[in-house]
Structure 1
Amino acid sequence: MTGSAPQQNHGQVNEYGARGARQWTVRDAVIDFARRVGMTSIFANPGSTELPMFRDFPADFRYVLGLQEAVVVGMADGYAQATGNAALVNLHSAAGVGNAMGNIFTAFRNRTPLVVTAGQQARSILPFDPFLAATQATELPKPYVKWSIEPARAQDVPLAIARAYAIAMQEPRGPVFVSIPADDWDQPAEPVPVSEVAHTMRPEPAMLERIGALLDACERPAFVVGGAVDRAGAVPDVVQLAERHHARVYVAPMTGRCSFPESHRLFAGFLPAMRERIVELLGGHDAIFVIGAPAFTYHVEGSGPHVPAGAQLCQLIDDPGVAAWTPQGIAAVGNVRLGVQDLLTRAAPKARELPAPRALPPRALPPSSGSERMSVAFALQTLAEVRDPAGVVVEEAPSARPVMQTYLPITRAGTFMTMDSGGLGYGMPAAVGVALARPGERVIALIGDGSSMYSIQAIWSAVQMQLPITFVILNNTRYAALQDFAPVFGFAPHETVQGTDLPGLDFVMLAKGMGCPGERVSEAARLADALRSALATSAPDDGPTLVEVVVA
């Protein structure tokens, strides 16, 4: 790669007919395009078929090394979500893409824009099924990429990357995939023409008029918000619309972002991924407006209606595919922020009574004796009291999430991130990506003990780049989510669930082996001081720390 446009060679005429410029290569054209669109951080784990891409690596680019491909994609996901721009990922042929598929699936569910490239064996030997070749390379990442291609000619690679970027950034955003044979990079190619593509679409005015009229006429509206609200930068607009209508605001099931401040008087709580419970919690509302989320995501088989009797459902979503399977009601498709802003231009609705505020939870108490473990509620309540509410929390502790939603309120847009997919191995590397995107800010990675073992190599990357991340590991020595969920599938009370106990893990030693200092806390009285120390940032390049919290 070259760090700038190819050097002038005066007196010669290249095949473009431009006097004085040497022939561009595929590498030149790809780097030039990536620079123009701001994809100058390359998240990667190296392999032989990718080496030609990185020759003469440009000084203004950054290579972000992950020790396993799932870590690479998780870091890129966090970085892309925090910056709002697509991140460039490079993986190794079929094996690397295979290792990365769990987090590619998560990026797809997160609607994260990623341009994923993968090396391929040289075109000249592909007919001989060579070692490390990716058979049917474009099919491997499907269906969890928006677009997948192996260009027919080397000269087509730069335009394929440009098209991939445009598709990744168009709503609904998501990952795309380009397979690139190793001998393509030095082939001649033309620069990618300068072009601009709109990434958002305004919802249809007629459908917004119907939604606005429904909201104006109803008596007891409820809003259900999802991750697309925060992704679109629409949280202040949704707050304003909810205040205008005196609407209770719930968070949609399995939402990976904070799309409404949880300290707001109109905040009503979180919906579970169960049909009957959703209907029960939304009972009494005559209009339900789902904004930036599916209506609704379910986890277990249910029955009965999707909304309470007498309630009308409407939806504003950036994904036409989601709108297509919405079970009833009306849906407007397009950018969430633009749609909400259009609704705000309507005349003020009739006055409504302000709904009763949500009841505050009781304080979590420390253990009554030294022999008892502290509760997850007490641990998260303590973290909430000592952390900066403007800081980012990246969470992957599924069994603790309901407790977190009660005792660790997220009050600001852009300060919470988790996976929409339910797949583990995302949170620790995503925290690394967020920290890269927000230099000098201390990021909290709140991770379960089981979840952490899927991509714990991310600690090494955080150490090497001296990123201010505090990894908080909730250690309950088990896959608690599975044990808690077992009764839904017919397990008797106290029946053993095979494969869910996790004894013998020492996270302080694991972190120390990668150069990260850590502390294990099992006494409730020590927790606040340990967290304060781990969260303190005295310099922009303070490195990561780890706190292992032993909980019941």
Structure 2
Amino acid sequence: MNSSSTHEPGAPGGVTVRGAVIDLLRRLRITSLFANPGSTELPMFRDFPSDFRYVLGLQEAVVVGMADGYAQASGNAALVNLHSAAGVGNAMGNIFTAYKNQTPLIVTAGQQARSILPFDPFLASREATELPKPYVKWSIEPARAADVPLALARAYHIAMQEPRGPVFVSIPVDDWDQPAQYVGPTQVSTAVRPDPHALQQFGDALDACRRPAFVVGASVDRAGAWDGIVTLAERHHARVFVAPMSARCSFPEDHRLFAGFLPAMREKIVAALAGHDLIVVLGAPAFTYHVEGDGPHVPDGATLFQLTDDPSVAAWIPAGSSVVGNLRLGIADLLARAAPKPREAPAPRSARPQAEPSPRMSVAYALQTLAEVRDTADIVVEEAPSSRPVMQDYLPFTKSGTFYTMASGGLGYGMPAAVGVALARPGERVIGLIGDGSSMYSIQALYSAAQLNLPITFVILNNSRYAALQDFAPVFGFAKNDPVQGTDLPGLDFVALGAGMGCGGVRVADPAQLKSALTAALASRKPAVVEVIVA
């Protein structure tokens, strides 16, 4: 099959399942396939179209991570192909992350031939549609081969409908050459306007309050509502906080109204929002907690309103009122109201202290230096959990679409996601800011970056430990300096690992050498590893 034809001999009208699927994917603008090959998928790739791109990952978690980054950065669903039950099992960690990230993915998996499924054949997935649940929006193994193209069309629309997320289609190996029909052109709206009456109550409360606070989350950036949020905050002189564990940047962190990041702890959230009489949560849950807490969910005397694209998030709001709908459309409707009475602007956030070099380089100094050499348009994909609070002080993001991380807390996403983002945004520089422990979950992504010759600088913060777990241990009763088993990581050499997969690299322990090393790596516009030894 070539790029100009989807007809094949042997089927009525020359149309097979493979031909109909290729035609559908081309019309959906899905011509990149993220995969690791397996036997039950091989017929899908016979006579692979010249206008399609096969993006190889060396492990299934890497495949899904790359597709996640690509889908988020491109704004369209990405196609993933996995190998039966074992491949889906390997990929489940990043499928869970894609679900939490609200990333639209069409995940297909091979299945043994229909004729031998009753005999429990080798490599068959016994309950294929159940395996990825509950972390897919929809899961199907079509009843007939002829139903595969329509199942994929439906999968695409479900994946793209807010709240977006992954879907799963299991396809028996003998389906691809069976006769089928083309899927007719369909268009489905993916954005729903919030209820006008509920939004009017929202707007009335915002106009009447004395001291509003906004809490913004990842759906603001996903929906393209960045400019609207800035305008709305400026109109109401609202302080703007970032929601706990937000996976995108949704407000410029150098803005005079920016108030910082909320922690994932109930009491600390209430303390940070104290003094505000209206809490407006936009594109985020209210609120994401990491440990149990006590007391109220909002400060005494405060009212909470939430605008979310996710009905399930709206359903468990612990206090206040929730409005469901697309963030961009909802904010546009709020901005269409008459301007409120003038309100005094809040005091700006205190400036962060300058980090100074030290014999054992601090994470703060490393990230401050990265901020100095990075262009504000450069995209950062982060997975360094123990360093994230420091990053929030020393590496500010000021433009839409320049920051991605995982919303799940599961490791192994960031390194392959950087590859996917770079593929979706050709010509733009990408920085993978990854912890040493996180890197080892999906280190194979370096191979894909090297083979594709992508402009990614992988900055690996090496503190020789799972620092997040050691730092978190006192919450669970560990005394200070008590050993935490399984959290030390001595002896890793990321420059050598990168070289083995085709990426050049440098190790930096001297703060005086860091700026030049980062500058050179970014200027090269080639995949490179900068291993930074930090205290």
* Aligned twin of 1:481: 468
SS at match of 1:411: coil
Q: Aligned-pair distance for 1:373? A: 1.0
Matched, 1:271 2:258: no
Q: Aligned-pair distance for 1:146? A: 0.2
Two-structure CA RMSD over aligned residues (Å) = 1.1
**Equivalent of 1:385 in 372, 384, 393:** 372
SS at match of 1:360: coil
* Aligned twin of 1:451: 438
Residues 229-264 of structure 1 show CA distances to partners (whole Å, capped at 9, x for unaligned) of 000000100000000000000000000000000000
* Aligned twin of 2:529: 546
Q: Aligned-pair distance for 1:23? A: 2.5
Matched, 1:152 2:143: yes
SS at match of 2:90: helix
Contact residue 34 and residue 63 of structure 2 kept, 8 A? yes
SS at match of 1:536: helix
SS at match of 1:216: helix
Q: Distance in 2 between matches of 1:381 and 1:297?
A: 28
5+ long unaligned stretches in structure 2: none
* Aligned twin of 1:364: 355
- Using a 3 Å threshold, how does the CA distance of structure 1 residues 243 and 482 change in structure 2: closer, same or farther? same
Q: Aligned-pair distance for 1:5? A: 2.9
Q: Aligned-pair distance for 1:441? A: 1.5
Q: Distance in 1 between matches of 2:353 and 2:271?
A: 23
Q: Distance in 1 between matches of 2:177 and 2:328?
A: 43
Q: Distance in 2 between matches of 1:249 and 1:7?
A: 55
Q: Aligned-pair distance for 1:6? A: 3.8
Q: Aligned-pair distance for 1:442? A: 1.4
**Equivalent of 1:103 in 94, 97, 112:** 94
Contact residue 46 and residue 92 of structure 1 kept, 8 A? yes
Contact residue 2 and residue 28 of structure 1 kept, 8 A? no
Q: Distance in 2 between matches of 1:246 and 1:323?
A: 26
* Aligned twin of 1:254: 245
* Aligned twin of 1:508: 495
SS at match of 1:393: strand
Q: Aligned-pair distance for 1:52? A: 0.5
* Aligned twin of 2:319: 328
**Equivalent of 2:206 in 202, 215, 227:** 215
SS at match of 2:289: coil
5+ long unaligned stretches in structure 1: 16-21
* Aligned twin of 2:106: 115
Residues 48-76 of structure 1 show CA distances to partners (whole Å, capped at 9, x for unaligned) of 00000000000000000000000000000
Contact residue 8 and residue 15 of structure 2 kept, 8 A? no
* Aligned twin of 1:245: 236
Matched, 1:493 2:480: yes
* Aligned twin of 1:162: 153
Contact residue 276 and residue 302 of structure 1 kept, 8 A? yes
Q: Distance in 1 between matches of 2:526 and 2:375?
A: 18
- Using a 3 Å threshold, how does the CA distance of structure 1 residues 7 and 186 change in structure 2: closer, same or farther? closer
Q: Distance in 1 between matches of 2:347 and 2:110?
A: 58
**4+ residue runs of structure 1 moved beyond 4 angstroms?**
none
Mean Cα deviation higher: 436-445 or 516-525: 436-445
Residues 423-448 of structure 1 show CA distances to partners (whole Å, capped at 9, x for unaligned) of 00000000000000111211000000
- Please give the residue correspondences for 1:394-433 in structure 2 after superposition, counting only pairs within 5 Å: 394-433=381-420
- Please give the residue correspondences for 1:46-85 in structure 2 after superposition, counting only pairs within 5 Å: 46-85=37-76
Amino acid corresponding to residue 473 of structure 1 in structure 2: I
* Aligned twin of 2:505: 518
Q: Distance in 1 between matches of 2:420 and 2:331?
A: 30
Contact residue 7 and residue 14 of structure 2 kept, 8 A? no
Q: Distance in 1 between matches of 2:278 and 2:429?
A: 41
SS at match of 1:81: helix
Contact residue 414 and residue 434 of structure 2 kept, 8 A? yes
Q: Distance in 2 between matches of 1:3 and 1:246?
A: 54
Q: Distance in 2 between matches of 1:123 and 1:364?
A: 63
Contact residue 244 and residue 289 of structure 2 kept, 8 A? yes
Contact residue 270 and residue 298 of structure 2 kept, 8 A? yes
* Aligned twin of 1:18: none
Q: Distance in 2 between matches of 1:482 and 1:7?
A: 56
Q: Distance in 2 between matches of 1:291 and 1:37?
A: 30
SS at match of 1:223: strand
Matched, 1:439 2:426: yes
* Aligned twin of 1:19: none
SS at match of 1:420: coil
Matched, 1:4 2:4: yes
Q: Aligned-pair distance for 1:270? A: 0.2
Residues 182-212 of structure 1 show CA distances to partners (whole Å, capped at 9, x for unaligned) of 0000000000011111111000000110000
Q: Aligned-pair distance for 1:543? A: 2.4
Residues 471-522 of structure 1 show CA distances to partners (whole Å, capped at 9, x for unaligned) of 0000000000000000001111110000000000000000000111000000
Contact residue 243 and residue 262 of structure 2 kept, 8 A? yes
**Equivalent of 1:44 in 35, 40, 52:** 35
* Aligned twin of 2:450: 463
Q: Distance in 2 between matches of 1:452 and 1:396?
A: 8
Amino acid corresponding to residue 121 of structure 1 in structure 2: Q
Provide the TM-score with structure 1 as the length reference: 0.96
